[in-house]
Structure 1
Amino acid sequence: MNLTKLKERVFPRQVFYGWYIATAGAGTNFIVLGITFFGFGVFLEEFRLTSGWSVTAIALGYSIQMLQQGLLAPVTGHILDRVGPRKMAVAGVTIISLSLLLFSQATILPIYYAACMVMALGQGMGGPNAFSLAVMRWFVRKRGRAMSIVTTGNGLGYFSTMILAAMIAGFGFHETFVVLAVVIFVVGIPLALVIRDRPENFGLLPDGEIQGGDSQSAAAQAGRSRATGGLEVGEAVRTPAFYLLVLAMAAGAAAQIVWIVFQVPHLRSAGFSLGFVGIQAAAYGMAAIPLRWAVGWLGDTFGRKKMYMLAVSLEGIGLFFFAFVSPDRWWLFIPFYLTFGIGHAGWLVMSQSLPADFFGSKHFAAIRGLIISLQIPVSMVVPLFMGFVFDTRGNYQLAYLVIACITVSGALCLGLSRRPLWIQMTAPKLAAVARAGDGKTAP
C-alpha cells in the first residue's frame, strides 16, 4: 500500500480535515497539559515532601514559568504567525521533553527553576498554542465547536493526577519524569505532524464550505476573508476592547491557576487522601468533557462573548464552595461541580476564541501572545499569594475566597466592551460581495 492510500484510510476525505486537527489537538492537550499543567499539583506536593522546600519556594518556579511565558508570548506568537503552527508544534514538544529530563535531576532549587524555564519555552513555542492557531485558521462559524474538541484533551488531562500518582508509586518520583519525557516525545511528534497551516493551501475552505457557482464562490470568498483577515497588532492595542479583554482573561486565568495547581495541595491540607484527590480529579475531568462540547455549541449559537461572561461568574461562585470543602463538608462538591464545572468549561473554550472573535485571525497568535504577556502580574502573583497564605495560615481557604472575587470581576470587564466582534464588522462588506456574486449590486 502506497503512502497516499494509507493517508486516505487514516484521514478519509469525506471528513473535513480541520476536524482531524482538532482531534490531534485534543490528544496533545491530554499528554502535554496533563503532565506539565494538571500534574503540577502532584509534583508540588512531592517536591515539598521529598526535598523539604516550602510551598512558596516551589510556587516561585511556577511563577517564573508564567513570567517567562508571558515575556516571550508576543515573540513566540509572532513567530507562530510567520512560521506556521506545524513546525512550532514539533519544536515545542521536543523542548518540553527536554525540560522533563531536567526535572528528573532537580534535587536543588536552581536546577528546578532552570527546568521550569525550559518548560516555559516549550509551552510557548508550540503544543497547545500551535493547535489553537491552526483551529482559528480552519474554522470560523464552528470555531467554538472545534475548540470544544481540542479542550476535550484538557478534560482527559484530569486523569493525569491519578496516573501520575500511580507512576510515582511504581517508578519513583524523579524516575517518573524520565518516563514522561519519552511518552511526550513519542506521542507528541506524530500528533504535531497532523497540523496543516491553512485550508486554502490544500484547496479547502474554512468550516468545510463547498466551492460551487458564482454565488457560492462569493460566499466562499466571504468565509476566506473572515478566516484570514484581521487587525494588525498595532491597531488592536489602540482599542479599549483589547485592554478590557486582557483584564477579563486575566481574571479567568487566576481561577485556572488556583484550580489546576493548588487543588491537590488544598484538598490534602483539608484532610483528603491522595487517592481520593486523584479519583475526584478524574471524575471532574470525565464530567467536563460533555460540558465542553455543550458550551462550544452554545457559544457558537448564542454568542461566545456572552458565554464567557457567564462562565467566569460561575467559576467565581464555584471557588467559593471549593474553599470550604472538607471531609465533614463533602457535600459542597455538589454545588461546586454544578457551578465551577460549567464555568470552567465555558472559560476554557471561549478564552481560546475571543481574541480571534474581536480582532480576526490574521495576527491571532501575536495578539493572543501580547494578551498573555500583559497577564504576567496575575500569573506571577497568584501562585506566590497562594503559597504565602498557606505558609502563614496553614490552609488555602482565604486565598480561594479572594481569587473567587477576582474571577467574577472578569464578567464586568468584558461586559464593558462595546466593540463589535470581527465577524459583525465584516458582515456588511461580505454581504455586498455575496450580492455581487448573485449579480446584484449593493444598495
Structure 2
Amino acid sequence: MDPDQSRGVDQKEGEPPSGIPPSGSKGGIFYGWWIVAISTAASTIQSAVFNVGAQTLVLPLIREFDTTRTAISIAFSLRRLEGGVTGPLEGYLIHWMGPRPYMVVGWIIFGLGFIAMGLCQNIYQFYAAFLLVTLGQSVAGFLPIVTVLVNWFDHWRGRAIAIYQLGGSFGALLVPVLAWAVLNIGWRPTTISVGIIVMIVGVPIALMMRPHPEEYGYLPDGAKHTADEQSSLEESVSSADSTSISEALKSRSFWFLGFSHSAGITAWGALQVHQIPALVDIGINELTAAGVVSYTLVISAFGRLAGGFLGDILGTKRVTAVAFIAQGASVVILAYAQSMTSVMVFATIFGIGFGTRGTLMTVLRAEVFGRKNFSRLAGLMDPVSSVSVLISPIFAGFIFDSSGSYQFAFLVLAAVNASGALLLLGIKMPKRERRASPTDSSPDSEVNSG
C-alpha cells in the first residue's frame, strides 16, 4: 500500500482504513491500543521464559555440567555482547524490512533456540544455543516493539510504553511456575516445550503488528484532523525528527543517554544471573528465591505506572535520577541481607526503582531520537549501553568464586548503578512541538485509552 495514498485525508469521515477497526467512531478503540495489548502479551511471554525466567536455569545448569557460576555468567554476558554487536544492524533492518516480518523471524529463532538448549550436551553447546535464544528474543522483542509504539503514540507515548512494559511484571508472575517445571520435570523437557510454545504463540502476535498509523489513515494517538491541520502537524513532526543520524551521533545527549542507560542496568545485568543463587546462599530455597524474583518484577509495575505520571508532573530526568539512586541503595541492602525481611525490603525498593527507570529511559530515548530515526539510533546505542552490563554478571560470578560471597560485587554494582543519576545531567532535551491531546482536537477524535 502506498502510504501517500492511504492517509486519512482522502478517506470519508468515519470510514475505517482497510483491515483496521475504526477508532474515531463512537465506541471505537484506536488500533494503537490493540497494538499496546499485543505488545504487552509479547513482553509477558519473553519475560516469563527468558528475560527473567532464564535465571531459574542457573543452578540446575551448574549441577548438570559441573561448572562454576562464572562459567554460567559468561552465557548471560554473551547475551549482552550479542545485543551490542547486532543492535546497530537490527535498527537498520527494522527500518528496511518493517517490524512485522522482522518479528516473525525473531519468534521462530527464539523457539528454535530453546529447543537447541534442551538438546545441548556440554557447556559450549549451551553457549551457542543461549546465543540463538538471545538473538531470537532481540529480533522479536524490545526494539521492534518500541519502534512501533513510538510511531503510533505521541501525546500518550509514555502511557503506552508503561503499559507495554507491564508485561515484564506479568511475566514475572509465571517465573515460579517455570522454576517448578525446571526442578520437577527437568530443565531439558521444560526448555524444549517452551521453544514449541513460543513459536505457536509468538508468530501470530507478530502478524498483528502494524508499523505506522498514517498508512492506515490515522495520526498518532488516533487524532483526526482536517486536511490543513493534518498537513501542519505532519510538517511539525517532520521538522522535529529532521535531525540526521550523523548529527545525533555527534551530540552530547546520545552518549550521555547511552552511558546512563548502561549504568542503570548494571546491577540488573548481574541480578538476572545471581539473584536466585545469592538468596539460596543465605538459606532461602530455590522455589522461594524464584518467588522473590517474581515479586521484584511484579512490584516494578507500580514503578512503571507511577513513573510515567510523575515524569510528566515533576520532569522525566528528575524522576529517573531518583530511580537510579533507589536501585543503587537497594542493592546495598541486598549485599548485607541475612534475613527474609531484608531481602523483601531490597526487592520492594529495587522493583519500584527498576520499573520507574525502565519506562522513563525508554521515554527519554523516544524524546531525544524522535519517530523517524528511532529504531536506527536506538540500535546504534546498544553497543554503548551494553558496556557495563556485559561485564557485571561475570564480575559478580568471579568475585563469588574467588571469595565465596557476593557482597563486594554488589557494593561495586550499586555504586555504578547510582552514578547513572549524574550522567543524566548531560542529556539535553530537544524542543519538540508535541501534538495536542486527541481529546482536545475535535469531537471526532475520541480515543478509548483504557
TM-score tier, shorter chain, comes to: 0.7 to 0.9
Aligned position for 1:282: 294
Q: Are 2:244 and 1:232 equivalent residues in the alignment?
A: yes
Instruction: Report the AA paired with residue 414 of structure 1.
Output: L
Q: Are 2:406 and 1:396 equivalent residues in the alignment?
A: yes
Distance in structure 2 (CA, Å) of the matches to 1:104 and 1:223: 51
Aligned position for 2:392: 382
Aligned position for 2:152: 138
Query: Cα–Cα, structure 1 residues 174 and 238, in superposed 2: closer, same or farther, change >3 Å?
Result: same
Q: Are 2:37 and 1:32 equivalent residues in the alignment?
A: no
Unmatched segments (≥5 aa) in structure 2: 1-16, 437-450
Aligned position for 1:438: none
User: 1:425 Cα deviation (Å)?
Assistant: 4.4
Aligned position for 2:196: 182
What is the 5 A alignment of 1:1-400?
8=21, 14-212=28-226, 214=228, 216-217=229-230, 220-221=233-234, 224-225=237-238, 229-326=241-338, 329-400=339-410
Q: Are 2:441 and 1:406 equivalent residues in the alignment?
A: no
Q: Secondary structure at the residue paired with 1:384?
A: helix
Tell whether the 8 Å contact from 1:92 to 1:124 is kept in structure 2 after alignment.
Answer: yes
TM-score (norm 1): 0.88
Distance in structure 1 (CA, Å) of the matches to 2:236 and 2:57: 45
Distance in structure 2 (CA, Å) of the matches to 1:157 and 1:11: 32
Distance in structure 2 (CA, Å) of the matches to 1:16 and 1:425: 24
Deviations 1:180-201 (A, max 9, x none): 0011111111211221000000
Instruction: Report the AA paired with residue 337 of structure 2.
Output: V
Deviations 1:193-223 (A, max 9, x none): 2210000000111122122374x43664367
Distance in structure 2 (CA, Å) of the matches to 1:213 and 1:87: 32
Unmatched segments (≥5 aa) in structure 1: 432-443
- Which one is further off, 269-278 or 120-129? 120-129
Tell whether the 8 Å contact from 1:106 to 1:112 is kept in structure 2 after alignment.
Answer: yes
Q: Secondary structure at the residue paired with 2:174?
A: helix
Aligned position for 2:443: none
Tell whether the 8 Å contact from 2:35 to 2:209 is kept in structure 1 after alignment.
Answer: yes
User: 1:365 Cα deviation (Å)?
Assistant: 1.3
- Which one is further off, 107-116 or 253-262? 253-262
Tell whether the 8 Å contact from 1:230 to 1:361 is kept in structure 2 after alignment.
Answer: no
TM-score (norm 2): 0.87
Tell whether the 8 Å contact from 2:77 to 2:393 is kept in structure 1 after alignment.
Answer: yes
Tell whether the 8 Å contact from 1:139 to 1:206 is kept in structure 2 after alignment.
Answer: yes
Tell whether the 8 Å contact from 1:159 to 1:278 is kept in structure 2 after alignment.
Answer: no
Aligned position for 1:437: none
Distance in structure 1 (CA, Å) of the matches to 2:177 and 2:83: 27
Query: Cα–Cα, structure 1 residues 334 and 168, in superposed 2: closer, same or farther, change >3 Å?
Result: closer
Aligned position for 1:420: 429
Tell whether the 8 Å contact from 2:56 to 2:290 is kept in structure 1 after alignment.
Answer: no
Distance in structure 2 (CA, Å) of the matches to 1:15 and 1:61: 43
Distance in structure 1 (CA, Å) of the matches to 2:41 and 2:183: 25
Tell whether the 8 Å contact from 2:316 to 2:360 is kept in structure 1 after alignment.
Answer: yes
Deviations 1:366-417 (A, max 9, x none): 1111111123432321111011011011121211111000011101011133
Tell whether the 8 Å contact from 1:133 to 1:365 is kept in structure 2 after alignment.
Answer: yes
User: 1:103 Cα deviation (Å)?
Assistant: 0.4
Distance in structure 2 (CA, Å) of the matches to 1:356 and 1:203: 23
User: 1:9 Cα deviation (Å)?
Assistant: 11
Instruction: Report the AA paired with residue 217 of structure 1.
Output: Q
Deviations 1:231-277 (A, max 9, x none): 22211110111111111000012122123322111111121111211
Tell whether the 8 Å contact from 1:33 to 1:154 is kept in structure 2 after alignment.
Answer: yes
- Which one is further off, 147-156 or 366-375? 366-375
Instruction: Report the AA paired with residue 37 of structure 1.
Output: N
**Alignment size in residue pairs:** 419
Q: Percent identity?
A: 27
Tell whether the 8 Å contact from 2:105 to 2:140 is kept in structure 1 after alignment.
Answer: yes
User: 1:282 Cα deviation (Å)?
Assistant: 2.8
Tell whether the 8 Å contact from 1:308 to 1:351 is kept in structure 2 after alignment.
Answer: yes
Q: Secondary structure at the residue paired with 1:151?
A: helix
Tell whether the 8 Å contact from 2:47 to 2:172 is kept in structure 1 after alignment.
Answer: no
User: 1:173 Cα deviation (Å)?
Assistant: 1.3
Aligned position for 1:435: none
- Which one is further off, 232-241 or 256-265? 256-265
Tell whether the 8 Å contact from 2:303 to 2:353 is kept in structure 1 after alignment.
Answer: no
Tell whether the 8 Å contact from 1:96 to 1:119 is kept in structure 2 after alignment.
Answer: yes
Pairwise CA RMSD: 2.6
Instruction: Report the AA paired with residue 424 of structure 2.
Output: L
Instruction: Report the AA paired with residue 180 of structure 2.
Output: A
